[in-house]
Amino acid sequence: MPDQKPILKAEDLSKRYEDGVLALDHLNLEVRGGEVYCLLGANGAGKTTTINLFLNFIPPTTGTCYINGIDVTRDPLEAKKYVSFVSENVMLYGNFTARQNLDFFAKLGGKANLSKEAYYQVMRRVSLQEKAFEQRVKNFSKGMRQKLGISIAIIKDAPAILLDEPTSGLDPKAAEEFLEILAELKKEGKAILMSTHDIFRAKDIADRVGIMKEGRLVMERTREELQYEDLVKIYIDYMKSEPLTV
């Protein structure tokens, strides 16, 4: 059972860009420890904007994001201690080996002086091939990079993990492996917020699913509710429905 205390919380969160586009419209959302929350929606629905706001990459127009109870806008450095981030295309230093990348980001995440073996263990946990540990990542496949990305999140050991379309472009096997790791992290009590287009896998892994359209969270279902409803149909119905009036 998820903890009751929300680790990720968006309160009346809105974002209007300088060009006038309303990317996020009064979003309210909570993700508790041991819970996976999947945000579904078409491109431009506001999923990535939500993640960017949680990471303080952009300031909100209204509302507040909380990570572990800390206001992200007010104290971003403190808030970011409690969150890891995995993007669609995991960003790594191509000239560094997998271990060097892991070492660098571990140190940034506050985990200094870890042994080489500790890094190897994490990489083994995400099923990265042993021979890749000391290889430069510029030749890594997308799957390998995603595994290394989740290794970085694991090694930081933050209570919250934000994932921005992490399985996009992965082959089915790699995507499956990736979700298995997420399931393990969920069991460890991490609060996971994942934006994705992958309805089928979202249904498999999510404790709750939210559908976003034109910046609004238009629907939210729990895992239990989805046992009796067809998520694909709901999603397509929302996408086909009339544009929202903003």
Partner 1 sequence: MLKTIIKKELLDNVFSYRFPLFSLICVLLIPLGMYVNQVSYAKRLRDYSEQMRLAGEAVSALKIQDVMAGTVAIKGFRPPARLSVFTQGFESTLPRFYEFTQDGFRPGESSGGDESIFSVQGKVDFVFLVQMLLSLIGLLFASDVIAGEKESGTLRAMLSNSLPRDKILIGKIAGGYLALWLPFIIAFLIGIIILIVGSFPFFGGDTPARILSVFLSVSLFMLIYFTIGTMVSSSSAKARTSVVAILLVWASLQLIIPKLSDMVARIVYPVRTNTEVSLEKSLLARSIDTETAKELGRQLDLVFGAAGPKAPEDENSPEQKKWNSVKTRIQQSARERKARQFGAIEETYQQQKRRQQNLAVNLSLISPSAAFARFIADICGTGELERTKYIEAVRAHQNALDNELFSKVDRTVMIRPNGETMLAFHAFPVDLKNLPKFSIASASLQDAFKENWRSLISLAFWLIAPFAVAYVRFIKYDVR
As a three-state string, the secondary structure of 189-229 is CCEEEEEECCHHHHHHHCCEEEEEECCEEEEEEEHHHHCCC
Distance, CA of 229 to CA of 12 (rounded, Å):
28
CB of 224 to partner 1, least distance (A): 32
Distance, CA of 210 to CA of 220 (rounded, Å):
4
- 61 CB-near residues (< 8 Å, 6+ apart): 14, 15, 16
Distance, CA of 15 to CA of 131 (rounded, Å):
44
> Which of these, 151, 164, 155, 126, lies nearest to 47 by C-alpha position?
164
Please give the residue ranges that form the binding site for partner 1 (CB under 8 A): 52, 55, 57-58, 77-81, 83-85, 87, 89-96, 100, 104-105, 107-110, 136, 152, 156, 162
Return the number of the residue (62 or 95) whose C-beta is nearest partner 1.
Answer: 95
CB of 200 to partner 1, least distance (A): 27
CB of 68 to partner 1, least distance (A): 12
Return the number of the residue (108 or 236) whose C-beta is nearest partner 1.
Answer: 108
Return the number of the residue (96 or 133) whose C-beta is nearest partner 1.
Answer: 96
Distance, CA of 55 to CA of 114 (rounded, Å):
25
CB of 232 to partner 1, least distance (A): 30
Return the number of the residue (80 or 186) whose C-beta is nearest partner 1.
Answer: 80
CB of 114 to partner 1, least distance (A): 13
> Which of these, 114, 187, 183, lies nearest to 152 by C-alpha position?
114
The dihedral sign for the CA sequence 88, 78, 110, 83: negative
Return the number of the residue (110 or 246) whose C-beta is nearest partner 1.
Answer: 110
